[in-house]
């Protein structure tokens, strides 16, 4: 007889029976959108390129929300689990653009570090005042101190508690970024890149916003505008994204979150922050309310009408905490992880990758097979080193080892770069975002909780993070030549 603990553990693991159907669906969608190709849209002030990966995300979303043959929540969670492994494959592919670009990265070192100010503080400087103007409340702090990916949960929960308004802000921005971030930043960077006013390396630095999917989508738009700089753009974007991810935890805890809290309190110092139950001046008489009765033995004093009592502050706070807790639990239920056996997930993604890469290349070649073999080996090595070290993530190991073996200092770099170079990085991004689209249906009901105000705040936060970083990088690159 199985115990409840065993049942829960088994419920969090999916096998081939649930993985293969979602993988087959993703393969069909990815092959179709890869064959259709990209679409150029002229907006007058610039052109926007819609890539196959964006079509894959949109089509995957439509499939996940359709009611004709509903896609079960568990299947959507399987798709989400595959996205996590696909991110490692994408990072492995981009790492092979870092090694050959190391001389350029070294020269751009000061700009690469200083532009992180834009990523880490741009949201506070621009998005936070907008959220205050829209009266988002204390959720403003959680929603605007960063772009709110996974590490933000722990930072805000520890400081304010998981049932706080600030934590609700983190959840709202996380849901918004998950559903709309990649699509919006693709359109944004495509438009800005086609203005031809920024250095492509500055644009690449701006692409490293700390999210793998948004970085890949943004990089694709920049490469389309500057195809001759593809290797340097992808390498720079990968390094910038890694720096943002690593520094983001420390800057978020010690700089961005405290700064957002103080800036919020400064901007709202003149707003009516009186809470129910606080001491206030005597209220004027309210018609229809009972008067205070006279007390025997005291001088005759005119009866003073008593205004209706305001609800007690603790009761209001309790209701707010309960609502925040319900939202948090709904997000947790929608994003609860399902684990897949590593051989199964890597095998499925290899088949998907070989198919889309072959369509992108227009042929099926052994060099693509060899390229995927190298990428799989790098991912497995990164996972092994992460397990051994316990303190360094697999993403960091994959990036570091990939950059080294693709650099001129490694004896077999030319052979490895030739194999991996045959795998179009956009084909991996198409797989990743198609699977992401198939997993989004479970998140759609959450939109009714986050409200419309998070939409302009989220759009401005992403725009500020990208553009401020690009502007800083542009000036810094010019200063250092």
Answer for the pair 226, 162: CB distance below 8 angstroms, yes or no.
no
pLDDT at residue 318, as a whole number = 59
Q: Report the largest interatomic distance among the alpha carbons of the chain, rounded to a whole angstrom.
A: 104
Model pLDDT, residue 25: 94
pLDDT, mean of residues 310-325: 59
Sole residue written with tokens 């930043």: 185
- pLDDT at site 471: 92
> What average pLDDT is seen over the chain?
80
Distance (Å, whole) CA 242 – CA 418: 24
Higher pLDDT: 344 or 15? It is 344
* Residue of 462, 457, 402, 441 lying closest to 89 (CA atoms): 402
How confident is residue 273, by pLDDT bands cut at 50, 70 and 90?
very low
Give the pLDDT confidence of 76-105 residue by residue, as tens digits: 889 988 988 998 998 899 889 888 878 777
pLDDT band of residue 356 (cuts 50, 70, 90) is very high
Helical (H) or strand (E) element with 96: helix 73-98
Instruction: Tell me: pLDDT of 294 over 80.
Output: no
Does residue 348 contact residue 26 with C-beta atoms inside 8 Å?
A: no
Q: Is the pLDDT at 128 greater than 90, yes or no?
A: yes
For the entire predicted model, the pTM comes to 0.74
Distance (Å, rounded) from C-alpha 191 to C-alpha 203? Answer: 12
Measured distance CA(87)–CA(343) in Å, rounded: 16
Q: The tokens of 121 are what?
A: 């503080």
What would the two tokens of residue 447 be? 């939109």
Q: Give dist(CA 421, CA 90) in Å, integer.
A: 13
CA angle 39, 88, 120 (to 5 degrees): 80
Taking only the tens place, the pLDDT of each residue in 243-272 is: 887 777 778 888 888 999 999 999 998 775
| CA atoms of 463 and 132, how far apart (whole Å) | 18
Q: Which residues in 313-343 are b (16+ Cβ under 10 Å) and which e?
A: eeeeeeebbeebbebbeebeebbeebebeee
Distance of CA 53 to the CA centre of its chain: 16
| Most confident stretch, 100-104, 216-220, 325-329 | 216-220
The Cα–Cα gap between 48 and 258 comes to 37
| Nearest Cα residue to 148 out of 123, 125, 173 | 173
Q: What percent of the chain has pLDDT over 70?
A: 80
pLDDT in tens, 27-65: 999 999 988 888 877 776 666 778 888 899 889 989 998
Residue 255 contacts residue 143 (beta carbons within 8 Å): no
Q: Are 209 and 462 in contact (CB under 8 A)?
A: yes
pLDDT at 285: 44
Between CA 205 and CA 342, with CA 354 as vertex, the angle to 5 degrees is: 80
Nearest to 405 by CA among 428, 439, 380, 378: 378
Residue 296 predicted with pLDDT over 70: no
**Contact by Cβ (8 Å): 75, 200:** no
Give Cα 31 to chain centroid, integer Å: 25
> Which residues pair with residue 41 across a beta bridge?
48
Q: What is the DSSP letter of 13?
A: B
Burial degree of 412 (CB within 10 A; 0-12, 13-18, 19+): exposed
How far apart, in whole angstroms, are the C-alpha atoms of residue 99 and residue 284? 75
**Whole-number pLDDT of residue 129:** 94
**419: phi then psi, degrees, rounded to nearest 5:** -70, -50
**Could you tell me which of 124, 147, 138, 129 has the C-alpha nearest to residue 218?**
147
Residues 6 or more apart whose CB falls under 8 angstroms from that of 121 comprise: 251, 255, 256, 259, 468
CA distance linking residue 206 with residue 108, whole number of Å: 13
Q: What percent of the chain has pLDDT over 90?
A: 27
The closest of 101, 70, 56, 86 to 347, measured between CA atoms, is 86
């Amino acid at each position: 007889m199985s115990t409840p603990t065993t049942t829960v553990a088994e419920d969090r693991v999916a096998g081939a029976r649930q993985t293969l159907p979602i993988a087959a669906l993703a393969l069909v969608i990815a092959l179709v959108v890869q064959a259709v190709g990209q679409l150029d849209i002229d907006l007058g002030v610039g052109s926007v390129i819609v890539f196959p990966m964006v079509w894959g995300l949109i089509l995957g979303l439509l499939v996940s929300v359709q009611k004709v043959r509903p896609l079960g929540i568990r299947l959507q969670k399987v798709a989400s689990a595959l996205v996590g492994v696909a991110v490692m494959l994408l990072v492995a592919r981009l790492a092979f653009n870092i090694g050959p670009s190391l001389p350029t990265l070294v020269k751009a070192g000061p700009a690469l570090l200083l532009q992180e100010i834009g990523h880490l503080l741009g949201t506070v400087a621009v998005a936070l005042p907008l959220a205050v103007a829209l009266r988002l409340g204390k959720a403003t702090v959680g929603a605007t101190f960063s772009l709110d990916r996974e590490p933000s949960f722990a930072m805000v929960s520890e400081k304010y508690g998981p049932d706080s308004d600030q934590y609700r802000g983190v959840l709202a921005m996380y849901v918004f970024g998950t559903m709309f971030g990649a699509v919006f930043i693709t359109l944004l960077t495509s438009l800005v890149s086609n203005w031809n006013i920024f250095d492509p390396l500055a644009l690449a630095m701006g692409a490293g916003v700390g999210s793998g999917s948004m970085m890949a989508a943004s990089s694709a738009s920049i490469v389309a505008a500057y195809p001759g700089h593809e290797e340097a753009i992808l390498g720079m974007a990968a390094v910038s994204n890694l720096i943002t991810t690593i520094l983001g935890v420390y800057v978020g805890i010690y700089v961005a979150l405290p700064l957002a809290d103080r800036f919020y309190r400064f901007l709202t110092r003149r707003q009516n922050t009186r809470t129910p139950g606080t001491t206030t001046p005597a209220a004027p008489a309210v018609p229809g309310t009972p008067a205070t009765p006279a007390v025997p033995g005291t001088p005759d004093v005119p009866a003073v009408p008593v205004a209706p009592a305001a609800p007690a502050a603790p009761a209001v706070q309790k209701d707010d905490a309960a609502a925040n807790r319900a939202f948090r639990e709904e997000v947790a239920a929608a994003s609860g992880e399902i684990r897949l056996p590593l051989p199964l997930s890597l095998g499925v993604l290899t088949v998907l990758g070989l198919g889309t890469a072959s369509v992108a290349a227009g042929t099926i070649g052994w060099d693509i097979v060899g390229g995927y073999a190298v990428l799989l080996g790098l991912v497995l090595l990164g996972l092994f080193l992460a397990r051994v070290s316990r303190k360094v993530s697999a993403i960091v190991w994959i990036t570091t080892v990939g950059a080294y073996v693709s650099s001129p200092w490694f004896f077999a770099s030319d052979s490895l770069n030739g194999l991996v170079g045959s795998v179009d990085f956009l084909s991996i991004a198409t797989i990743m975002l198609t699977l992401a689209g198939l997993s989004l249906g479970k998140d759609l009901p959450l939109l009714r909780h986050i409200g419309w105000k998070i939409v302009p705040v989220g759009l401005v936060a992403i725009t500020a993070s990208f553009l401020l970083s690009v502007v800083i990088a542009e000036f810094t690159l010019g200063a250092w030549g």
